[in-house]
Structure 1
Amino acid sequence: MYKSILVPIDLSDTELIKPALATAASLASCYDAKVRLLNVLQLTPVMLAEYVPADFDAQQHEAAAQAMEAIAKESGIDAARLSTAVRQGGGIYHEILEEAAAIGADLIVMTSHRPAMRTYFLGSNAGHVVRYATCSVLVVRH
């Protein structure tokens, strides 16, 4: 049923990703699916650009890639079916949807914080992904 599963990873909250990883591992095992772990880095604001080193974005990308590899090793997902990616862009949900389209994902498995008053008015990344994804989205609560 599922052949390609995308799992967005927020490196700032590693406890929150555990339920999504466990769910993706189980589904990948059942359906012999490939899993892509994705981290999205925000663009450095222009007003801060002069205060950070010239290679700041490259350093951030490298650090994120190393952290993603460590998470991949601990995920319990067969290495032959697992890949990682780090994207950088202005909108997290936009980059998630772009990656899903690029790899032909037929399922996105992601976690979400419990709804709060601010997310009802502003929306969350998970909410945007659910609304605009062209594939199925499974939101796993922590």
Structure 2
Amino acid sequence: MYKSILVPVDLAEAELAAPAIRAAEEFATMSEGTVRLVYVRSLVPVTYMEFVPADFDAGQQADAEAKLAEIAAKVKLPAERVSARVLVGSVHGEVLAEADASGADLVVLGSHEPGMLAYVIGSNASAIVRRAKCSVLVVR
């Protein structure tokens, strides 16, 4: 069964992750595995950096870490089997890199009905499904 489960969370739509987190909890409970929650922050374009306070990036990181920690604290597994990490970059690229680096054998994604834009340029979920080296479960 799955021993290392990665669950990407979009803090702007955290409710979408709830079914994925529940599924990850079930798999981890059956296999005594671990769950790692990840959130990927967007890069602030360099051209905008002069318009934001010097501590903007650090503040955004701390805020995201606090919000993700709140979600991680609600995962129904022993604390030593749950971790959370905030990354910076492109969502699918960072999730795939984290899956590889952490040795994840399952990525569980929350998803919603895609809009027209997702059909035209692709979504993060579809990019992860297509490129992951491990199993991927998409939970609607």
Once the two structures are TM-superposed, the CA of residue 92 in structure 1 deviates from its matched residue by: 0.8
1:48 aligns with 48
Query: Which amino acid in structure 2 is aligned with residue 115 of structure 1?
Result: P
Tell me, what secondary structure is at the counterpart of 1:108? strand
1:82 aligns with 82
Query: Which amino acid in structure 2 is aligned with residue 134 of structure 1?
Result: K
1:73 aligns with 73
- Structure 1: give runs of 5+ residues left out of the alignment: none
Q: Is 1:12 matched up with 2:12?
A: yes
2:126 aligns with 127
Query: Which amino acid in structure 2 is aligned with residue 124 of structure 1?
Result: S
Once the two structures are TM-superposed, the CA of residue 128 in structure 1 deviates from its matched residue by: 0.4
Tell me, what secondary structure is at the counterpart of 2:41? strand
Q: How many residues align?
A: 140
Tell me, what secondary structure is at the counterpart of 2:128? helix
1:58 aligns with 58
On the 8 A contact 2:111/2:125 being kept in 1, the answer is yes
Once the two structures are TM-superposed, the CA of residue 32 in structure 1 deviates from its matched residue by: 0.7
1:96 aligns with 95
The Cα offsets for residues 71-90 of structure 1, whole Å up to 9 and x where unpaired, read as: 0111222212101101111x
Query: Which amino acid in structure 2 is aligned with residue 32 of structure 1?
Result: E
Tell me, what secondary structure is at the counterpart of 2:95? helix
Alpha-carbon distance in structure 1 between the residues aligned to 2:77 and 2:127: 27
On the 8 A contact 2:75/2:82 being kept in 1, the answer is no
Once the two structures are TM-superposed, the CA of residue 5 in structure 1 deviates from its matched residue by: 0.3
2:137 aligns with 138
Larger displacement relative to structure 2 (118-127 or 71-80) = 71-80
Query: Which amino acid in structure 1 is aligned with residue 138 of structure 2?
Result: V
Structure 1 consecutive aligned stretches of length 4 or more whose deviation exceeds 6 Å: none
Alpha-carbon distance in structure 1 between the residues aligned to 2:64 and 2:16: 17
Query: Which amino acid in structure 2 is aligned with residue 56 of structure 1?
Result: F
Alpha-carbon distance in structure 2 between the residues aligned to 1:38 and 1:52: 25
Alpha-carbon distance in structure 2 between the residues aligned to 1:23 and 1:56: 35
